[in-house]
A and B are shown apart, each in its own frame.
Chain A
C-alpha cells in the first residue's frame, strides 16, 4: 500500500500486518502443533496396544514420565490424552484452521486490501504464539502438564493432590488458554468487522462465497462463546489459587478435609460446555465452507442450493448454542432438562442432512476434476455422513446412558469433528497453496497422501465404535484390569497399527508442503479455473492484494459451466450479459 516504509525481514515475516503472512504464521504454528498432538496420540496408542511395555517412541517424552521397567506412567498417559485433546481442539482445529483460512480468505474473497485492523490481526497471532509457548512449556514442568482431560473438570483439575498434572501444569494450561482466548477474540472480531464493512463494490452478502459465510458464522460463535470459557477458567483460577468455592464442595482428599462448601462442579460443566459445544462447530463450519468451495470448483458446477447451504450453516450455528447439555446427560440433571437437550440436539440432524444432500446434488452430473484438494473435500463429506449418523445415538439421552464416555464417543467425534475438520484443512492447504506460495504442490504425492490417510483414518476410528459398544470407557490407561475387555486386544492392535501408519504417512504431506514452497513449479494466476476473487490477484502476493483498483463484483461465486459461456467458469468480476440473471 504505502510505498514510504521499506519492509524489513522483521516487518515482513515476523511482525507482519499483512493478512496473508499472518495466515501463514497461523498455518505453520498449527501444523507444528498438529505434529506434536499426533505424536502424542501415537505414543498413547502404543501404550494401549502394548500396555506396560517399553517403546522406542517413549524417548520423545521427559524421562520422569517413564517408570523403572520403561513403561509409561498411568498419570502421564492421562497427561498425553489431555494435551492431545487440548492441542487438537484449540491449537490445530480452532487457531490452525480458522486462523489460517479466515485470515487468508476473507480479504481475498470479499475484495478487501487487508483486515479491518492489521494491527489487531497481528496481535491475535502473537497472543496465540505466546499461548503456544506457555502450553509447550507446561509439558516440561516437573509435575507434568494438565492431566484431567481436555475438559478440565474440577475438582480433579482444581486439586493438585488428586493428580500431579493439576499443579503447575494446570496453572500454565489456564494461562495458555487465557492467552489463546484473547487471541481468538481479537481475530474473531476482526473477521466479523471485515466481512461486514470491507466487501468490495458489488459483493453483497448474497454473493459471498460459502467459505466466507462459514468463517463469518464461526467468528460469531467464537466471539459469543469464548468469553464464557474465559470466565469459567477465571473462576477455576480463583478456586485453585485464592481459596474460593465456585466449583468445590464437601471434599476430602488424601485424608485432608477441605474447607470448601457450597460450590458445584456441575456449574463448571455448564459453563465449559456452553463454549464447548459451539466450539465443535467453530471447528467444523470452516471445514464445511472450504469443502463447499472446493467441491463446486472441482465439480465445475455451482454449489447446489446456495441459500439452503447458508441457511443450514445459520441453523447449525444457532442450534449449537442450545445443545450443550447433551454432554451432561449423566450428571444427574433433571430428566426433563435432559429431554429438552435431546430434542434440540437431534434437531441439528436436519440442517446437517440438508448439507449432505446438497453436496451429493452438487456432485450429480458434475465433471469432476480430482485435484488432491477435491479428494479431501469428498472425504470430508464421507466423514461428515459417517460421524454425523452416530450422533443420533449419542444425542439421544436414553441411548447415551450406555455409550456416554465410552470409545463410541471417541470414534464419533474423531470422525465427525476431527477427521472432517482435518480433511477440510488439508483440502484448503492443497487448494490455496498456489495462492499462498505462488507454487504448486506435487499432485502425485497429494494422491498418495490422500489415499493412505483416508484408509488409515477410518482404520483408526471406525473400530472404536465397537470398543464403545463393548462398554470400554475412554481415558483408560489399559483395559487389562477388567476380564470383560479381554477380547478387545485385537481391536486395539488394529487401531494402533493404523494410527502409527497414519501418522507416518503425514511425512509425505510435510515433504510435499515444504519442498513445494521452495522448489515447486511456479503457478499461474488461476490454476484451478476458479470464479472467486482471490484468483484475480497477481501470483506475486503483494501487500494490499490488488495492484490497482479493487475488483468489482458482478455476479455470485458459483457460475461454473453456465450455459451461454464458452469457458466452464465465469469469474465474479465478469459483467452479466444482457438479460442474464444472477442466481
Chain B
C-alpha cells in the first residue's frame, strides 16, 4: 500500500508546486518583471543550497559507511583474497580522499563564486604550469595504483597448481554440480554428447579415470590446502561467484576455465565469527535465465579428517551409474 500512497502524495505535492509557480508567474506579469531572469537573490539561494544539500549528500555518504559497514562481506577467507582486500583498502582509501576533497571543493566554489551584480569574473583562460601539475600528479598516483594492481593480479592468477586438489564445477540452468576426481586424482574425460538423464555431466565412462569420479551436490574443501576449480557449462554462460573467497570465473559452454585458491577459514570458524546460519555459498553471477537469482551451491571448508570422512561417504560414478542401470 505504501508503494501507492507515497507516489500519490508526491503527485499532490507537485500539483501544488505547479499551481504556486503559476501564481508567481502571473504576479510577475502584473508587476512587469521577468520571472525567469536569474537574480542575485536566486544566486544566493542556489549557492546556499549547494552547500546545504551538497553537504547533506556528503553526510549521507558518511552515514552509509558507518551504518552499513556491518553488512559488507567479511574479510577474505582465502590466501589470495587477503591480497585483494589489501589492494581494495588502498584503492578505496585513495578514492575516498579524492572524493572528500573534490566534491566539497565543487560545492564550495558554487557557493563562494555565486554571481553578484557588481562583480566580474576573473578572465583566466589557461595556465600551462597548473595544467601540467594536475596531469603529472594523477599520472604518478595512477602509476602506483597500476603497478600495485598488476602485481596483485599477477600473484592471484599465476599460481602453481601442480599439487592443488582438483574439482570440477559444472553449471547448467539452474543448478550447480561438482565432480571430485576420486582416488586417482584425475578427472575422467567428458563430452557434451554423452549427457543424458543419468549421466548429467556427460562423463566418458570408457575413460578408466572416470570410474572413481564422484559427482557431488556440495563442494567440500580442506582448509589451508590449495584447490583448483575447473569450470564447465552445459547450456549458457554462468559465472561461478564465491564472494567470501574473492573468487569469480565465468563458466562458458565449449570452453574450460579455472581458478585456483587456498581457503583459510573453516565453515565452523566462520560460524563463530559471522553467526550460526553462516555458510559459504556459490552464486551464479552471469544472467542465465529466469531462475538466475536462485542458482546456488553450498561450499564447506573443513579439516582433512572431516573431508576424508565426507568424501568416503560419496558414491563413485561407477557405482551410481551401475545401480541406476
Q: B131 interface residue, CB < 8 Å from A? A: yes
When the two chains form their complex, are residues A491 and B68 in contact, meaning their CB atoms are under 8 A apart? Answer: yes
Residue tally, chain A, CB below 8 Å to B = 139
Q: A548 interface residue, CB < 8 Å from B? A: no
Q: A386 interface residue, CB < 8 Å from B? A: yes
When the two chains form their complex, are residues B134 and A357 in contact, meaning their CB atoms are under 8 A apart? Answer: yes
Q: For B257, what are the chain A residues with a Cβ–Cβ distance below 8 Å?
A: 331-332
Q: B164 interface residue, CB < 8 Å from A? A: no
When the two chains form their complex, are residues B102 and A396 in contact, meaning their CB atoms are under 8 A apart? Answer: no
- B138 CB contact (under 8 Å) in A300, A331, A353: A353
* A217 CB to nearest B CB, Å: 19
Instruction: State in angstroms the CA–CA spacing of A447 and B146 once bound together.
Output: 41
Report B174-210 CB contacts with A as 1/0, cut-off 8 Å.
0000000000000000001101110000100000000
- B103 CB contact (under 8 Å) in A156, A350, A382: A382
Q: For A579, what are the chain B residues with a Cβ–Cβ distance below 8 Å?
A: none
Q: For B110, what are the chain A residues with a Cβ–Cβ distance below 8 Å?
A: 363, 368, 378
Q: For B244, what are the chain A residues with a Cβ–Cβ distance below 8 Å?
A: 471
* B68 CB to nearest A CB, Å: 5
* A300 CB to nearest B CB, Å: 4
Q: For A535, what are the chain B residues with a Cβ–Cβ distance below 8 Å?
A: none
Within 8 A of B (CB), among A287-303: 299-303
When the two chains form their complex, are residues A162 and B195 in contact, meaning their CB atoms are under 8 A apart? Answer: no
Within 8 A of A (CB), among B12-71: 14, 17-18, 21, 24-25, 34-38, 42-43, 46-47, 49-50, 53-54, 57, 60-61, 64, 68, 70-71
Tell me whether A265 and B252 are in contact in the complex, defined as CB-CB below 8 angstroms, given that A466-B72, A561-B120 are known contacts: yes
When the two chains form their complex, are residues A155 and B38 in contact, meaning their CB atoms are under 8 A apart? Answer: no
When the two chains form their complex, are residues B255 and A332 in contact, meaning their CB atoms are under 8 A apart? Answer: yes
Q: A322 interface residue, CB < 8 Å from B? A: no
Of all chain A residues, which has the CB nearest B286? A405
Q: For B173, what are the chain A residues with a Cβ–Cβ distance below 8 Å?
A: 162, 253
Q: For A455, what are the chain B residues with a Cβ–Cβ distance below 8 Å?
A: 53, 57
How many A-B contacts if CB must be within 8 Å?
A: 390
Report B87-115 CB contacts with A as 1/0, cut-off 8 Å.
11001101100110011011101100111
Q: For B243, what are the chain A residues with a Cβ–Cβ distance below 8 Å?
A: 402, 471
* B231 CB to nearest A CB, Å: 8
Report B150-163 CB contacts with A as 1/0, cut-off 8 Å.
10111011100000
Segment of B217-225, B232-240, B300-308, B317-325 in the binding face: B232-240
Q: For B50, what are the chain A residues with a Cβ–Cβ distance below 8 Å?
A: 378
Of all chain B residues, which has the CB nearest A483? B277
Tell me whether A369 and B126 are in contact in the complex, defined as CB-CB below 8 angstroms, given that A339-B154, A471-B243 are known contacts: no
Instruction: State in angstroms the CA–CA spacing of A73 and B293 once bound together.
Output: 12
* B254 CB to nearest A CB, Å: 3
Q: B169 interface residue, CB < 8 Å from A? A: no
Within 8 A of B (CB), among A386-404: 386, 389-390, 392-393, 396-399, 401-402, 404
* B92 CB to nearest A CB, Å: 7
Of all chain B residues, which has the CB nearest A334? B157
Q: A249 interface residue, CB < 8 Å from B? A: yes
Instruction: State in angstroms the CA–CA spacing of A349 and B146 once bound together.
Output: 11
Q: For A303, what are the chain B residues with a Cβ–Cβ distance below 8 Å?
A: 125
Q: A543 interface residue, CB < 8 Å from B? A: no
When the two chains form their complex, are residues A156 and B289 in contact, meaning their CB atoms are under 8 A apart? Answer: yes
Classify chain B: how many residues form its interface, as a range.
Answer: 35 or more
Q: For A497, what are the chain B residues with a Cβ–Cβ distance below 8 Å?
A: 6
Within 8 A of A (CB), among B237-288: 237, 239, 241, 243-244, 246-250, 252-255, 257-258, 277-279, 281, 283-288
Of all chain B residues, which has the CB nearest A406? B285
When the two chains form their complex, are residues A155 and B236 in contact, meaning their CB atoms are under 8 A apart? Answer: yes
Q: For A57, what are the chain B residues with a Cβ–Cβ distance below 8 Å?
A: 3
When the two chains form their complex, are residues B115 and A300 in contact, meaning their CB atoms are under 8 A apart? Answer: yes
* B201 CB to nearest A CB, Å: 10
Report A63-82 CB contacts with B as 1/0, cut-off 8 Å.
00000000001110010000
Instruction: State in angstroms the CA–CA spacing of A255 and B195 once bound together.
Output: 8
Instruction: State in angstroms the CA–CA spacing of A514 and B209 once bound together.
Output: 73
Instruction: State in angstroms the CA–CA spacing of A462 and B59 once bound together.
Output: 12
Q: For A31, what are the chain B residues with a Cβ–Cβ distance below 8 Å?
A: none
- B94 CB contact (under 8 Å) in A248, A300, A392: A392
Tell me whether A251 and B192 are in contact in the complex, defined as CB-CB below 8 angstroms, given that A307-B126, A367-B119, A443-B42 are known contacts: yes
Q: A10 interface residue, CB < 8 Å from B? A: no
Q: For B123, what are the chain A residues with a Cβ–Cβ distance below 8 Å?
A: 301-302, 560-563
Q: A335 interface residue, CB < 8 Å from B? A: yes
Interface centre among B43, B91, B237 (most CB of A within 10 A): B237
Within 8 A of B (CB), among A438-488: 440-445, 447-448, 451, 454-455, 458-459, 462-463, 466, 469-471, 473, 475-479, 481-484, 487-488
When the two chains form their complex, are residues B254 and A484 in contact, meaning their CB atoms are under 8 A apart? Answer: no
Q: For A399, what are the chain B residues with a Cβ–Cβ distance below 8 Å?
A: 84, 87-88, 91, 149
When the two chains form their complex, are residues B250 and A331 in contact, meaning their CB atoms are under 8 A apart? Answer: yes
When the two chains form their complex, are residues A508 and B17 in contact, meaning their CB atoms are under 8 A apart? Answer: yes
Extra inter-chain contacts (15) besides given A251-B254, A399-B91, CB under 8 Å: A74-B290, A75-B290, A162-B173, A252-B192, A263-B254, A302-B123, A330-B248, A331-B252, A350-B139, A358-B131, A365-B121, A368-B113, A369-B38, A392-B94, A454-B53
Q: Can you offer 13 A-B residue contacts whose CB atoms are under 8 A?
A: A153-B286, A154-B236, A155-B237, A264-B255, A265-B237, A302-B124, A366-B122, A367-B121, A370-B114, A375-B46, A444-B35, A477-B292, A483-B279
